[in-house]
Amino acid sequence: MAPTIEELAEDAMAYLLPSPTFEPLERDGYVYVAGQVSAWIVRIRRVDVEAVRDEARRREAKRVEWWLGWSAPPGAERDLLDAGFRPDEVPTLTGMTCVAEPPAAHGIEIRAATPEELVALEHTVWGGEPNPLPVPSDVENHFAALLDGRVVGTARAVDMPNAVALMGGVVLPEARRRGVYRALVHARWEHAVRRETPCLVVQAGAMSAPVLDGLGFVRHGELRLFVDTGVASGHGDD
């Protein structure tokens, strides 16, 4: 059975089409999403810290994040804290969806982003360790927004069977409030329409969620993010 729109909003990564960046793997009571250097534990219905840690070590994951949605079992947060987890640097995200065309932005050039542009801009905005260069994939699309010929924003879109997930939308501070983020959202809507899956799904941070409210997105609930400090330890669309 296809997931409901609320299920997509809560556990988007569980429903991504597999790619080198995000490979959802069904496990007993959760979905282990394997990345290039990180892992994400989503659609959590049972907490099994040791099983996840064993798999993460086998796969040599440097960072493991658990994303507790509103359907996670009672006591899951306490179980994670008791196991030595800590809240993520971004401790909460909001699951949101959009099924109608969001407003366009004028005067912003949009084109495909190179892997180098994508990672460089994310690193400039977020800091920390740079993300690995994405491996080319038919289910991942990367967009660049330009002002006066300069890349000032980038964003990722990852295909799902019946929707498109928005990830990694970033805009340089000096280019904000000029429609850049709005243009990147609209470009990904156009991508969703082209593939005949006109639904956008995002797990948005505190900066993005209010903007997305104004673009017609609907909030479904809040996710709480935790990092497993017991595994060698390192963003939604923020």
Give the domain CATH number at 155. Answer: 3.40.630.30
pTM of this structure = 0.93
Side-chain half-sphere CA neighbours of 132 within 13 A: 13
pLDDT at res. 183: 97
- Whether residue 56 is found in the same domain as residue 118: no
Task: Give CA 201 to chain center in angstroms.
Answer: 9
pLDDT at res. 7: 98
- Whether residue 109 is found in the same domain as residue 191: yes
- Whether residue 69 is found in the same domain as residue 105: no
Q: Profile the chain (238 residues) by mean pLDDT over runs of 10 residues.
A: 94 97 97 96 98 97 97 97 96 98 95 96 92 92 96 98 96 95 98 98 95 97 95 54
Is 213 part of a structural domain of the chain?
yes
Domain that holds residue 22: 5-93+221-227
pLDDT at res. 49: 97
- Whether residue 110 is found in the same domain as residue 61: no
Counted domains in the chain: 2
The pair of three-digit structure tokens given for residue 198, joined into one six-digit string: 């006109």
- Whether residue 211 is found in the same domain as residue 118: yes
Contact 63, 89 (CB under 8 A): no
- Whether residue 137 is found in the same domain as residue 82: no
pLDDT at res. 193: 98
- Whether residue 104 is found in the same domain as residue 205: yes
Q: Could you write out the three-class secondary structure of 55-101?
A: HHHHCCCCEEEEEECCCCCCCHHHHHHHCCCEEEEEEEEEEEEECCC
- Whether residue 44 is found in the same domain as residue 83: yes
- Whether residue 21 is found in the same domain as residue 63: yes
Is 233 part of a structural domain of the chain?
no
pLDDT at res. 122: 95
What is the Cα–Cα distance from 195 to 157, expressed in whole angstroms?
12
